[in-house]
Each structure stands twice: as C-alpha cells, then as structure tokens.
Amino acid sequence: ELGHYFLQSNTNKDIFLRIQITQLDKETKPDEVEANLFAAALLMPAKLFLKYWKLSHDIDALSKIFAVTPAVVAFRLKTLDLS
C-alpha cells in the first residue's frame, strides 16, 4: 500500500487497505495498476529477482526469499514477461 501512499499523495486518505490480493494482474483501475507495479518493483527489484528466478524457478521459494505471497511473485513474473 506504500505505492498508493507515495504515488497518490494528492488524496486525503490516511490508510490504504487491500481486501483482495490473489489476482493482482486482473486489476483494471489505473491507480491500482500503478501501485501494484510500484510495489512489485520495490519489494522485488528486477536484477535481484531475475538472479533468484534463474537459480530456482520456484515461486514458493521466491515468496519466502522476498517475504511476499506467491501471488505477488506470480505478478512480478508477469511484469517482467517471464510467465
């Protein structure tokens, strides 16, 4: 939710909450898409993510390495055109 906080600083919201996180790639609202891309890049930098992906190709292992859910790893794979 940091993506919302930093990217949408013109809003008056103090709290950003995501209720559904299992289908990040199905999001259609532009501000949500932008925040999801930001968060994925922040939590899983491309160079480091690619290094670990080449070693294992294991979504569950990467989710533990980066401390994110497997759904977030799958989303990052799609953003990097790896799935």
Tell me which residue has tokens 């070693």: 55
More confidently predicted of 17 and 1? 1
What does the block give as tokens for 77?
């794979």
Spatial contact of 43 and 72, defined as CB atoms under 8 Å apart: yes
More confidently predicted of 35 and 68? 68
Of 75, 23, 80, nearest to 54 by C-alpha is 80
How does DSSP assign 15-57, residue by residue?
----S--S-GGG---HHHHHHHHHHHHHHS-HHHHHHHHHHH-
Average pLDDT over residues 66-71: 93
Name the pLDDT band for 34 (thresholds 50, 70, 90). confident
| DSSP designation for 10 | T
pTM of this structure: 0.73
Whether residue 29 has pLDDT greater than 60: yes
More confidently predicted of 4 and 64? 64
